[in-house]
Chains A and B, each alone.
Chain A
């Protein structure tokens, strides 16, 4: 069930990654289309984060190759942005929101060059896009988790890239932030940017993404959400996790996926 595309923005061939000689990704082979909002879905420990880290060459791979824009990563690095998991950094670091977003400009600046006024304007503009311009001077330690996630997103925007990898941008954020982020991702996709998101809330997959990867150590499926996010393929991806599966199949039986907010409203 792996659908291939012509002129892919990302092409992975035969990729295998292991930690400590234990394989965590097996023989991944895929191509992804340009300008789509793409979700990577799979159970915990399926290798979702590992996959994007391997694509960004942040961890070594045992075999295979990755091509982005039909080029090697080094040649196109400034067209690619990456949003790590929010928990990967120490938010007590003495910096303001603006300081962090300015880091998004560092890749383009190169050695010895300081951010200039134009870079600060780009950074402020990106803070505005995530609704955080009022918090530009705020110390990052004083932001809520959702606000921290928005700052991370603004930093990625400041790179003005064409392809974005995001590691669980919706993890541990409030409903307002989740909405801000998904609106932003949609508008990016409308401008022709490609956004690849590690995601693990199955209920929102069909609402959020155009294309989905189902991953569990190996690639189970890759294709448009409508044809790929099916019960059989989910069963294959999630294996024996029956309680979760019955939950999913119940959801699948109904038409579409109910909004969590709506459900909450009914029960209270």
Chain B
């Protein structure tokens, strides 16, 4: 039987994995997986500064601070890429390591003032989900606070994707055409990045700033191998996210190790299994269609 504590941890893991995976679908289709990585690291100084200013963890300030830093990161990457003619991956590498390092120094410097420590920020503390309860002003215990934060973000992400589905799809598939029919690619790019930033903040307490990227990329990448339909891909991502949380918890129990690490490991294991059984086959099929296609060399102007 699952204990109440185990259930809460698995639920917290799922509540984090689902929004990460849903946004991750768009990240990998935009070939921006590494931008997700960059943002998940770069929001660290935003988290710390918001923490210093507001003094608590569940405030809106923190989500706002991180959201702004996330957009700032995206902007910096674009800026270095466009103005400096730097390759995108180099621009990403320079930007996020630098911001992440500032975050690490800030935590170090203000360790006595803020209730944040490096281990928690880097590796998460999902094991303590049930310890920190949300208590209302009249003293009623409402249950683990993390569940509320993650649940709210999940809801926001679902609303965002439902409302902007067709814009997200068209700006991802064919940004030039999207602009031609009057849909702003820049606006949707920054909205998506803001959503990624906010989700990262809600997730970092559970799985940590480093491992959260595993939840952004691995479940959608696995789902991508399994289907050629975007809606199915998103549903599969959700299923895989929950499975990662569930199996990750029991792997951690089995090994008596860190839960976040076990979840990221399971995300990798699922990907590997699917890749071995499906990925290779899919690749063969693609090669076959290429061979039977009538035309050979596309002409460029």
> A: which residues have CB within 8 A of B?
44-46, 48-49, 53, 56-58, 74, 77-78, 80-82, 84-90, 92-96, 99-100, 103, 106-107, 109, 111-112, 114-115, 139, 141-142, 144-146, 155, 159, 167-168, 171-174, 198, 200
Residues of B198-249 contacting chain A, CB below 8 A: 224, 227-230, 232-233
CB neighbours of B254 from chain A (8 A): none
CB neighbours of A145 from chain B (8 A): 293-295, 298
B2 interfacial contact with A, CB 8 Å: no
A10 to chain B, nearest CB (A): 15
The answer for the CA separation of A167 and B29 in the assembled complex, in Å, is 24
Size band of the interface chain B makes with A: 35 or more
CB neighbours of A168 from chain B (8 A): 299, 301
The answer to whether A146 touches B294 (Cβ under 8 A) is yes
Residues of B267-301 contacting chain A, CB below 8 A: 286, 289, 292-301
Known: A49-B301, A159-B181. A84 touches B294 (CB 8 A): no
Q: Can you list 14 A-B pairs, Cβ within 8 angstroms, ordered by A? A: A44-B300, A49-B301, A53-B176, A82-B177, A84-B176, A90-B29, A93-B173, A95-B173, A103-B169, A114-B166, A142-B228, A145-B295, A146-B295, A172-B299
Residues of B28-54 contacting chain A, CB below 8 A: 29, 31
The answer for the CA separation of A132 and B299 in the assembled complex, in Å, is 23
The answer for the CA separation of A90 and B167 in the assembled complex, in Å, is 17
The answer for the CA separation of A92 and B301 in the assembled complex, in Å, is 23
CB neighbours of B293 from chain A (8 A): 144-145
The answer to whether A84 touches B301 (Cβ under 8 A) is no
The answer to whether A93 touches B181 (Cβ under 8 A) is no
CB neighbours of A107 from chain B (8 A): 181-183
**6 shortest interchain CB distances as A-B pairs:** A107-B181, A82-B180, A172-B298, A139-B228, A171-B299, A174-B294
The answer to whether B179 touches A58 (Cβ under 8 A) is yes
A104 to chain B, nearest CB (A): 8
CB neighbours of A46 from chain B (8 A): 301
The answer to whether B182 touches A77 (Cβ under 8 A) is yes
Per-position 1/0 for B181-196, Cβ under 8 A of A: 1110000000000000
